[in-house]
Amino acid sequence: MNAAYIVGTLDVAELAFLLFFVFFIALVFYLNRESRREGYPLEDEQTGKIHPGSLFDGDKKVFKLPHGRGTYVPEDNPRDDINIPAVQAFNAAGAPWVPTGDPMIDGLGPAAWANRAKYPDLTFDGRPRIVPIGQSHEIIVSPRDPQLIGWPVVAADGVTVGKVSDIWVDQAEHIIRYLEIETNSGKKVLAPMMVAAVQTRGFFNDKPELVEIDAITSAQFENVPQLETPGIITRYEEDRIQAYFGGGYMYATPERSEAWL
C-alpha cells in the first residue's frame, strides 16, 4: 500500500481538505453567532415586536467597566421607548418622523440623545475627565489667547444672552470642551465649545470681544439641559447638552428645517 494512504482510499490530501471544510463551516457559524451577541433578536421599529431568535443568536455580550465599576450587559437594561412625540410622514418602515412637539427638548432627529450612564467620564487614573478649569490644577489658558471669562455671549438671533462665567476643560485631551454661560436671568448653562465662535478685536481693534453661538436663539438658552450636580457633568448630561445644541442647527428657527432648494 502506498504510504500516502491512511486507511483504504483516504489519503492525506483528502483528509486535509475535509479538515479545512469542517474548520471553515465552524468558522462561519462562530462569526455569525459573534455578530449577533448584541442587538438581537431584532425589534420591529413600527410595532416594537421582538422577532424570535435563531440558531445563530449568541450569548449576551458582557462589557467589563473600568475602575472597578463591574460589568454592563446591554440586553439586561431597559429598552428605549418607541413612543416618541412624532408621527411618520407615511406608513412605511423607513418613513421620516415629523415632530409633534419641540424636537430639541423631545430629542428627535439631530437633537436625539442616548441614555448613557449617569456618571462622569473618567481619566485613566480615575479622575473626572471634564471639569471647570479651576479644578484641573494643571490646565490654564495661554496668556496670548483670549481668556473668555466675562465675555458677552450672542445667540443666533443677535441677542446678547449673557456672559461666559467659566471654562470647562478636558483633562485627558487638554482642550476646552464647554463654556459655562450665565444668562441674563441668572441661570447657568453649558454650551459645547465646538458651537462657539470667538470674535476678538481684530487687527484694527474695530470689533467687540464676544462669543457667538449661532446654534440656538436667546430664548432657547433657558431650556438647555441642566447639570444635576454643580461642577460635575455625567455622560448622560453630555449627550443631552450636545444633542440640544446640535439639534438647533435644524430646529432653532422654522426656516432651518426647510429645504435649501
Residue 261: pLDDT band with limits 50, 70, 90: low
pLDDT tens across 131-185, in order?
999 999 789 999 999 999 999 999 999 999 999 999 999 999 999 999 999 999 9
What one-letter code names the amino acid at 163?
A: K
Take residue 175 and report the three cell numbers written for it. Answer: 482642550
Query: Which residue from 258, 241, 179, 177 is spatially nearest to 212, judged by alpha carbons?
Result: 179
Output the CA torsion sign for 101, 258, 193, 116: positive
The more confident residue out of 127 and 38 is 127
Give the integer Cα–Cα distance in Å for 63 and 223. Answer: 34
pLDDT tens across 84-111, in order?
889 988 888 788 888 999 999 999 989 9
Residues 215/156, Cβ–Cβ less than 8 Å? yes
Classify 107 in phi/psi space as left (phi over 0), alpha (psi -120 to 50) or beta: left
Residue 242: pLDDT band with limits 50, 70, 90: very high
pLDDT tens across 45-69, in order?
667 777 777 777 777 888 898 888 8
Terminal alpha carbon distance of the chain? 82
Class of the domain covering 84-257: alpha beta
Task: Please give the DSSP secondary-structure letter assigned to residue 143.
Answer: T
Could you tell me the pTM of the whole model?
0.79
Residue corresponding to grid cell 462569526: 31
Q: Is it the case that residue 17 has pLDDT exceeding 70? A: yes
Residue 205: pLDDT band with limits 50, 70, 90: confident
Q: In sequence order, which residues have a C-beta less than 8 Å from that of residue 17 and are 6 or more positions away?
A: none
Q: Is 80 exposed, middle or buried (0-12, 13-18, 19+ CB in 10 A)?
A: exposed
pLDDT tens across 111-136, in order?
999 888 899 999 988 899 999 999 99
pLDDT tens across 23-37, in order?
999 999 999 888 887
- Domain residue ranges in the chain: 5-34, 84-257
